[in-house]
A = this chain, B = another copy of it.
Amino acid sequence: MLTKKGKYGLKAMAHLARFAPGRPVPVLEIATTQNIPKKFLDAILCELRNCGYVVSKMGKGGGYTLARPADQITVGDIVRALDGPLAPLPCASKTRYRPCDDCGNVERCAVRLVMRDAQRALSGVLDNCTLARACELAETIPLCYHI
């Protein structure tokens, strides 16, 4: 389950992808239009900057910009940066593998093998979805969409 941090971060990145073809976007603008607590968003963007996904410009007229084009940052990148590994269990993670301490036979653990499949499926979606594609998806969807 994605935390609010992850969700807010993704929404902010999508905002930057859509509305920033150059000029820096102030945190306050993102916070108000996306309904995100300003101070919380401050912390999130700061983290994304430290990871190299956004660039900040201080002072008047400052704000945040994507560090790379929107089609070169994936949703998986952002989720991993803010919420950690995609895999349901650390022992099934590709990027941050850690064995379970309660697991006797890691290689033949049924739970782990299933969760590796799950991880593959999840990263197949999130690592192949760029911010650009996500925005596009939202814009081209038919208006009458049935939940």
> A residues engaging B (CB < 8 A)?
1-2, 7, 10-11, 14, 34-36, 75, 84-85, 88-89, 97, 100, 102-104, 107-111, 113-115, 117-118, 121-122, 124-126, 129, 134-135, 137-139, 141, 143, 145, 147
In the complex, the chain B residue whose C-beta lies closest to that of A94 is B147
Tallying the copies of this chain within the complex gives 2
Interface of A is mostly: helix
Least CB distance, A57 to chain B, in whole angstroms: 25
In the complex, the chain B residue whose C-beta lies closest to that of A145 is B107
Chain B positions within 8 Å of A145 at CB level: 107
In the complex, the chain B residue whose C-beta lies closest to that of A35 is B102
Can you list 18 A-B pairs, Cβ within 8 angstroms, ordered by A?
A: A1-B1, A1-B85, A1-B88, A1-B89, A2-B88, A7-B89, A14-B111, A34-B102, A35-B104, A75-B114, A97-B147, A107-B141, A110-B138, A113-B134, A113-B141, A114-B137, A118-B122, A121-B122
